[in-house]
Amino acid sequence: MSARLFVSGALSNGAEIELDGDQSRYLGKVLRARIGDRVAVFNGEGPEWPATVLRISRNSVCLALGDSVETGTESPLKIHLVQGISRGERMDIVVQKATELGVKRITPVITEFGVVKLDPDRAEKRREHWQRVAASACEQSGRTRPPLIDAPLSLKTWFGSKPPSTDTELILTPAATTSLASLTAPQTKVCVLIGPEGGFSDAEHGDAQVSGFTAVSLGPRVLRTESAAIAALSVMQSLWGDLR
């Protein structure tokens, strides 16, 4: 069995932990785990722990942890994805694939042309949902540190409070004449801004320019928002990260 599970709470060498709810059902009923089977668990702080199934009951599974190990799956390129919120499963796809591609931080933003509007309560529920999507993507991809996912906010508000310590700041623009390959490699950090289905307004492009963002293009074809995110992140990791 090669299952990997994200668990909340502290983990330590030699400890026993009890899993219940969805994780217990996944191990016991989906994977049909048996006493003595091996799995791996992680809590988002860096290492992962090999674990052995000790006990299985109707509602819980008890695991015994071994000694923690470092997996080396985090990219040296710190990518901050600022993504215009899109409809339906598109945003889930972006969060999932961004996690698999090693993004360190995701900031969902509400834009002028975006069709998704969120009140504070719905915004927090969506953030919690995206955190679960990211945790699941970590389980599949071998990562042990899920990306930080910020609470959704307006793009204009984000421009007023964005982190200052970024080597390179980029905005995807279909009409741009600059390619990613022509840029100087960032030292460690890059921030990329990607629009929703309707793209960015002229005012938002102007705000990005004033904030120091460089407009870049992914080529002659206009990509869907989720395709643009996957393509841009893949190219950046290929040029400057750990896919070289």
pLDDT at 142: 95
| 79 φ, ψ (degrees, to nearest 5) | -100, 125
Q: Which residue range is the domain that position 61 belongs to?
A: 4-65
Residue 125 falls inside a structural domain: yes
Please give the average per-residue pLDDT across 45-67, as a whole number: 93
Report which of residues 114 and 204 the model is more confident about: 204
CATH code assigned at 170: 3.40.1280.10
- 132/235 same-domain check: yes
The number of helix segments (H) and strand segments (E) in the chain equals: 6, 12
Two structure tokens written together for 171: 């905005």
pTM (predicted TM-score): 0.93
**Angle at the Cα of 80 from the Cα atoms of 77 and 83, rounded to 5 degrees:** 140
Sheet with 60-65: list strands edge to edge: 4-6, 38-42, 49-56, 60-65, 16-20
Range list of β-strands (E), 147-204: 148-149, 153-154, 168-172, 189-194
Please identify, among 65, 86, 116, the residue that sits at the C-terminal boundary of a domain: 65
- 89/205 same-domain check: yes
Q: What's the mean per-residue pLDDT of the chain?
A: 93
Binned at pLDDT 50, 70 and 90, residue 224 comes out as: very high
Please identify, among 19, 38, 65, the residue that sits at the C-terminal boundary of a domain: 65
- 43/109 same-domain check: no
Cβ-Cβ contacts under 8 Å for 132 (sequence gap 6 or more): none
- 121/185 same-domain check: yes
Cβ-Cβ contacts under 8 Å for 202 (sequence gap 6 or more): none
- 39/85 same-domain check: no
SS3 103: coil
Chain segment 161-216, per-residue pLDDT in tens: 887 778 899 999 999 999 999 999 998 899 999 999 889 999 999 999 999 999 99
Nearest alpha-carbon partner for 195 in 215, 219, 165: 215
| Overall number of domains in the chain | 2
pLDDT at 119: 83
SS3 174: coil
pLDDT at 21: 83
Please give the average per-residue pLDDT across 144-164, as a whole number: 92
Residue 11 falls inside a structural domain: yes
For residue 65, give the H/E element and its range.
strand 60-65
CATH code assigned at 15: 2.40.240.20
